[in-house]
Amino acid sequence: MFPEDGMERYDPKTIEARWQRVWDDERAFHVPNPAEGEISEREKTYVLEMLPYPSGELHMGHVLNYTLGDVVAHMRRRSGYAVLRPMGYDAFGLPAENAAIREGGHPRVVAERNIEAIRAQMRRMGWAIDWEREVSTHEPEYYRWTQWLFLRFFEHGHTYRKEAPVKWCPKDQTVLANEQVIDGRCERCGTEVEAKSLEQWFFRITAYADRLLDEMSLLEDWPERVLTMQRNWIGRSEGAEVVFRIDELDAEVPVFTTRPDTLYGATFFVLAPEHPLVPRLVEGTPQEREVLDYVRRAGARSTVERETKEKDGVPTGRTITNPVNGEQIPVWVADYVLMEYGTGAIMAVPAHDERDFAFAERYGLPVRVVVEPAGGDSAPEQGVFVAHSAGERLVDSEQFSGLPSPEGKRAIVERLERDGNGKQVIAYRLRDWLLSRQRYWGCPIPIVHCGACGLVPVPESELPVLLPEVEEFLPKGRSPLAAAEEWVRTTCPSCGGEARRETDTMDTFVDSSWYFLRYCDPRNDEAPFGRDVADYWLPVNQYIGGIEHAILHLLYARFFTKAMNDMGLVGFREPFLRLFNQGMIHHLGAKMAKSKGNVVEPNLYADRHGADALRLYVLFMGPAEQDKEWQDTGIEGTVRFLHRLWRLVHEQVERGGPAQAPSGGALARKTHETIAKVTDDVQRRFVFNTPISAVMELVNEIARAPEDPAARFATETAVSLIQPYAPHVAEELWQRLGHERLWEEPWPVADEAQLRRETFELVIQVNGKVRDRVQAAADLSREELVELARNSPRARAFIDGGSVRQAIVVPRKLVNLVVG
């Protein structure tokens, strides 16, 4: 740039490669575990970003995600904490398997090739990661412990196998967990899912529903919307189970309702088409054909269709007895009642439930009002829909009439309980987590099916159950593992007889539900992790990732942690104390996607401008939690800034000014203000764009007064403050300033004494409008400030003939003269 000055040009490529090598050689970011049996003296911080799926290509979302974590980790480490910041790969799963099917070859080869590629790109970004703790979920050394944990869950009854209606993705040829179905479509491929009844493996996450809600109180800082989404997903609702009877069949049919106070308004009864009682109910009746026909048609409807069409159903010809008044009401079958929720049957109260009302309207069923809104003085109109409201009272409900709704609920439930016709219950929307998948590239389920002994766990000594080698990965409705006949055929660990291995593999979300624990103790070959070491590092202090896992991964990991806590494997109940969701980086107005051709590749920019400029830019763009738009010209601004800083440092080295700043000067004060701002912004506010602005301001100030006695001090501080954001160039400049190892240098602390000002700019307002600004001594009294304002000629012009009726003084800020 200025070769005639002999100043070396800022060349990010060389600098970045050099410092990455130094960090590796010196194991700069390796953190040892506290020695056995002794808790480390140093306070710890666990900074973690969500486990990446190794697609082979790093994208901008990763860059933002890991750079955020990097800044936090650097600052924490330089503030004296032992910082755990590991990295690994969520390597099992469909993308690698599908790529292998498409291109031929083995999913493992695809996955490992991708890992190599993405690791190289990550290292290029210079993140301060302890690479010695790297793990990948597809390695037998890892999935051995996934299996081990599965068996502990199995022993404790957290895992079970049952036949149940499940969601099936016809494209991926596998079942899905409820959480992986979005609007009736497969979360991965968007194919409409089908309903099937299959025998599958489940985690009993529903047993933890209440704790997943209640223990949110243990979390330090999670985005409110994530908590809301989880609460909605769990869907806890308090109500009652009410038992209706069909005497002719000697059958009891319980329903769940949140409105037991409306029991007298039940005018019909509805069973889900899948309800097991339906065939017996209509057997040999004139309605049999029509009802079974309806059931068949409902079964063929897609979830989407079922949810969007007009409500329909068929009468069964049977009646059922309302336990409170003995009334006989007709039983219908309709698919607006879902088998998965409650008991698969409802009492229909059309006057007080919109869905029941719509159904009653269509089929001309009676509508009986039994609750009147607050302040109803005349008898309620019959046959209409009455929305739920505060202060409502029961009517036409025998002895319960007149009770306010909440008391009515209580009284009716008490009566039901006394008569053995019901009880208070809580229903959840949350379903158990379906964990088995009919695909190859996943963790094998370590179970043996024995004709004599049933489901037998594989003994711990035989773990891992390795994935068998097969020729064909294409799924055909059953797991490709089933084709490895020799592998499938085994002996029962319990009785020694012939037995067959489980051929389903686990949902990859199982792998990622405990990876944050493996990082504590990644090479342990006797246990998934040592409890002491886990209890030292965990819970994660700062977790960072995308909002897409608001329910899926985050709910599963919380469940796993709680179950492990119950089993005595860990001493804490929540895995992630603070959660941060970064926004998405868009380009050309849309989410980056290969199919749209608008992907901005980080590597390209790292090569062109350096990783430091890229890291700075993704943070400088705007608030980290907001979605934002990539601008090529934007990164050029950060490039320019680094060049400017580079020149400034060299100029200061040339000048050789004193490193210690004399106190009291404007530049010295600005420097301390910058330290305070940069530190506070990250630590308290978790914002990353304004600290960069603050350092830019400081650099601008230095450039304006390079001969200031505080210039050298200001320059060194700027380099030190920018280190978490642009670590390579900061390290290089630090060395050129005559120091070493900036990453080990304590984080700067602002000197309170230097922050104090002797004068300030007093803003003078007249009737709320700024009319003048004057310098004022910091220690002036309120009266003196008002005098100063009154004497301002500019303010006077606006006071004119009027009199000052009031003066508002904000100390060290402004005076507002109210003139009337």
Partner RNA sequence: GCCGAAGUGGCGGAACUGGCAGACGCGCUGGACUCAAAAUCCAGUGCCCUCCGGGGCGUGUGGGUUCGAUUCCCACCUUCGGCACCA
Which residues inside 344-403 make contact with RNA, applying CB under 7 A?
344, 346, 353, 355
Task: Work out the angle between the directed axes of helices 711-722 and 689-704 (0-180°, nearest 10).
Answer: 160
Which among 698, 660, 661 is positioned nearest to 677, based on CA atoms?
698
Site for RNA in 23-82 (CB under 7 A): none
Site for RNA in 552-611 (CB under 7 A): none
Cα 469 to chain centroid distance, Å, stands at: 35
The answer to whether residue 427 forms part of the interface with RNA (CB under 7 A) is: yes
The answer to whether residue 258 forms part of the interface with RNA (CB under 7 A) is: yes
With left for phi above 0 and alpha for psi between -120 and 50, is residue 764 left, alpha or beta?
A: beta
Residue 531 CB, nearest distance to RNA (Å)?
35
Among the listed residues 32, 80, 235, 738, the single contact to RNA using CB under 7 A: 235
Please choose, out of 29-37, 83-91, 92-100, 757-765, the segment that lies near RNA by the rule CB under 7 A.
757-765
Residue 462 CB, nearest distance to RNA (Å)?
40
Geometric angle at alpha carbon 525, from 521 and 528, rounded to 5°: 50
Please choose, out of 21-29, 55-63, 160-168, 694-702, the segment that lies near RNA by the rule CB under 7 A.
694-702
Among the listed residues 67, 257, 316, 321, the single contact to RNA using CB under 7 A: 257
Residue 720 CB, nearest distance to RNA (Å)?
18
Site for RNA in 700-739 (CB under 7 A): 700, 703-704
Judged by CB under 7 A, the number of residues near RNA is 86
The answer to whether residue 338 forms part of the interface with RNA (CB under 7 A) is: yes
Half-sphere exposure for 769 (CA within 13 Å, toward CB): 9
* Sequence-ordered list of residues with C-beta below 8 angstroms from that of 406, at least 6 positions apart, any chain: 261
Residue 759 phi/psi, 5-degree rounding, is: -130, 165
Residue 194 CB, nearest distance to RNA (Å)?
16
Residue 441 CB, nearest distance to RNA (Å)?
27
The answer to whether residue 483 forms part of the interface with RNA (CB under 7 A) is: no
Please choose, out of 211-219, 496-504, 628-636, 750-758, the segment that lies near RNA by the rule CB under 7 A.
628-636
Among the listed residues 318, 587, 669, 771, the single contact to RNA using CB under 7 A: 771
Among the listed residues 76, 108, 211, 259, the single contact to RNA using CB under 7 A: 259
Which among 622, 721, 729, 621 is positioned nearest to 678, based on CA atoms?
721
Site for RNA in 85-144 (CB under 7 A): none
Kindly state the helix (H) or strand (E) to which residue 165 belongs, with its residue range: strand 159-169
Residue whose CB is less far from RNA, 310 or 377:
310
Could you please report the per-residue DSSP string of 439-497?
Answer: -SSSPBP-EEEETTTEEEEPPGGG---PPPP-S----SSS-GGGG-HHHHEEE-TTT-S
Please choose, out of 368-376, 569-577, 680-688, 740-748, the segment that lies near RNA by the rule CB under 7 A.
680-688
Give yes or no for a contact between 680 and 690, defined as CB atoms under 8 angstroms apart.
no
Site for RNA in 518-547 (CB under 7 A): 547
Residue whose CB is less far from RNA, 405 or 503:
405
Residue 79 CB, nearest distance to RNA (Å)?
19
User: Is 518 strand, coil or helix?
Assistant: helix
Residue whose CB is less far from RNA, 173 or 258:
258
Which among 688, 537, 531, 527 is positioned nearest to 130, based on CA atoms?
537
Site for RNA in 293-332 (CB under 7 A): 306-307, 309, 311
Neighbours of 659 (CB within 10 A): 13
The answer to whether residue 1 forms part of the interface with RNA (CB under 7 A) is: yes
Geometric angle at alpha carbon 200, from 143 and 239, rounded to 5°: 115
Neighbours of 749 (CB within 10 A): 11
Strand 433-434, strand 194-203: pairing: antiparallel
Residue 259 CB, nearest distance to RNA (Å)?
5
Site for RNA in 459-478 (CB under 7 A): none
The answer to whether residue 687 forms part of the interface with RNA (CB under 7 A) is: yes
Among the listed residues 100, 692, 722, 789, the single contact to RNA using CB under 7 A: 692
3-class SS letters over 245-273? EEHHHCEEEEEEECCHHHHHHCCEEEECC
Site for RNA in 801-820 (CB under 7 A): 806, 808, 810, 813-814, 816, 818
Residue 168 CB, nearest distance to RNA (Å)?
17
Among the listed residues 634, 706, 739, 751, the single contact to RNA using CB under 7 A: 634
The answer to whether residue 642 forms part of the interface with RNA (CB under 7 A) is: no
Residue 548 CB, nearest distance to RNA (Å)?
8
Report d(CA 239, CA 254) in Å as an integer. Answer: 13
Report d(CA 33, CA 533) in Å as an integer. Answer: 7
DSSP single-letter state for residue 809: E
Kindly state the helix (H) or strand (E) to which residue 585 belongs, with its residue range: strand 585-587
Structure tokens at 254: 């319980």
Site for RNA in 156-215 (CB under 7 A): 182
Residue whose CB is less far from RNA, 439 or 615:
615
Site for RNA in 269-288 (CB under 7 A): 272
Report d(CA 628, CA 626) in Å as an integer. Answer: 6
Residue 353 CB, nearest distance to RNA (Å)?
6
User: Is 7 strand, coil or helix?
Assistant: coil
The answer to whether residue 796 forms part of the interface with RNA (CB under 7 A) is: no
Geometric angle at alpha carbon 212, from 72 and 540, rounded to 5°: 20
Residue whose CB is less far from RNA, 196 or 311:
311
Residue whose CB is less far from RNA, 225 or 608:
225
The answer to whether residue 756 forms part of the interface with RNA (CB under 7 A) is: no
